[in-house]
A and B are shown apart, each in its own frame.
Chain A
């Protein structure tokens, strides 16, 4: 699509060239390449599959040795993940009325009763709010910034771009203490707003730099034609530039979301109750009632889902975007 820039259609070579060289090489080499890909995929998939399976095991099955690959699936991990339970004496258990739900029954079969919902759901919702909120902000601001850097003569442009990049030059955690103090002064500690602002700030460098590359790839003439035809610069930006930049925006959004979603250190340090996200919460499950691996695995599985869904949704854009604009060259 991008390759077809009007009359002077430059053929899209970038991605194709790679495909060609593999397709045109000898069958033996192709077979080997296929094997490498399959093995690599297996190696990276095994832990994920293991987590997925463990989530459906009973605690006994999850720690049995040798590990069970075939087992009777159970939802105990998920029930444990979402509930708080307490162990009771057999006499007390016997005195209870019959269980009302399937999960009540499951818990009681372990000589326990449900005392209430766990905090996992709240943490998960926090993750969604903070992850997607900061991603939206970082991409939105990044798009505008990148467009400005790409199209206008900004004073000290190179220095500003370098400055934006330099925020990435040390591990974010190196500034954790100043940020911790700053947040405490500003009343941002343990708030959604604080975490959204923080993740947005950290992601800005990535989003500005990635998007600037994509913006540079969009011919100026696209919006200039629209401006000559009667749009203002802002209208041209929204109606012409943005549709052309969806590729880059999608790719950037995924990278930003992955960072914000997985971020652990800041979340551990700056949040405790109200705005805590899922990453610092999942290890707490381990600590609560002995080593409840199925619950941990269930939490991890659920935790992986949003990024997976988001990525799959933007997949068609991403396939182009991941080459970082090389398509047109």
Chain B
């Protein structure tokens, strides 16, 4: 299994920059998920790693070996495509055997490996069916079989579950992760679905408009978002932002949001007077009559055991997650208190998080 390094890679299509100067390393045996909204350059990055597209500049290295100009067939990787999964004119068996055939593996060996793979994925019973007769989930299993049959250096998967319904997707997520735990293959998995990313990844890379926003473990990305984009993209519901004007100094451990003074992790960065935003996750918000930060209940969304209450404040809407048994009436005036240890202060201009004790904790582990 290989380590994949992307070094200062940039990709332009004419004038349009699809991927800006990007660098990251996927460790050997890691399940690495690339997450981002549609059009952010995920597929393009993946295609460059696969050798289907040449970077405009930069290098791609497998285990330290420069493969930037090596053609796809020589890179020894498996690719699961976003839309295409299988050859419709071939039987399931032939589809799985196809990569082996490309590599000139003998007929007997092909048969053995395909049967082994099919057993692993529990698809032995339809090896001789036509692909067109299969249901979506089964097709994805076959596509997966096609990828793993050859024991390549790395798996690249471009939204392989995108076409499945929610239930099937969750099931396949579980299966993929189990399979990875068994094979320990370096995997780069692309998705725009944060739930998929959170549930499967060892580490996540969040991209937006061709720029890497943050790289980190799921927990880290969730708890310590480095940019407002990441904070907004991850979590359901996502982080709320209380926008306010002010100046902050290093060492400060509270900020003034209008009248209210809110305690935050000790800041390690200063900002002259300007637009700031306080990021807070719904589960860190509580109602407290004593708080000076006040708002009006706008509505609630019941989620079984919990509910999400949206409160309109002078600084923008804020969402709170609380027990579904708590009674809240729309229009009610409430005080809002935030759990101090988890708040992030953002520079609202460039969307970057101000360095603070929160991130130091992250660095220590």
A residues sitting closer than 8 Å to B (CB atoms) are 1-2, 4-9, 219, 221-222, 224-232, 235, 240, 243-244
Contacts and interface: CB of A to CB of B under 8 A. Distances in A.
Given A222-B87, A227-B71, A228-B50, A4 B132 contact: yes
B99 interface: yes
A8 B83 contact: yes
Interface residues of B, number: 34
Given A6-B88, A228-B73, 8 more contacts: A4-B88, A4-B131, A7-B140, A7-B162, A9-B132, A225-B79, A226-B98, A232-B73
A6 B85 contact: yes
B52 to A, nearest CB: 5
A231 B100 CA distance: 10
A4 B136 CA distance: 11
Contacts of B89: 1, 243-244
Contacts of A8: 83, 162-163
B73 A7 contact: no
Interface centre among A7, A227, A243 (most CB of B within 10 A): A7
13 contacts: A1-B132, A2-B88, A4-B88, A6-B85, A6-B88, A221-B83, A227-B52, A227-B71, A228-B51, A228-B52, A228-B73, A229-B102, A232-B71
A5 B82 CA distance: 11
A61 B87 CA distance: 59
Interface of B: 50-52, 71-73, 75, 77-79, 81-89, 98-99, 102-103, 131-132, 136, 139-140, 143, 150, 160, 162-164
Contacts of A4: 88, 131-132
Nearest to B84: A221
Nearest to A230: B102
Contacts of B99: 229-230
A228 B52 CA distance: 8
Contacts of A243: 89
A321 B52 CA distance: 29
Contacts of B51: 228
Contacts of A228: 50-52, 72-73, 75, 77-79
B324 to A, nearest CB: 37
Interface centre among A9, A219, A225, A226 (most CB of B within 10 A): A225
Contacts of A2: 88
Given A1-B89, A4-B132, A224-B52, A219 B83 contact: yes
A260 B85 CA distance: 40
A26 to B, nearest CB: 34
A6 B136 CA distance: 8
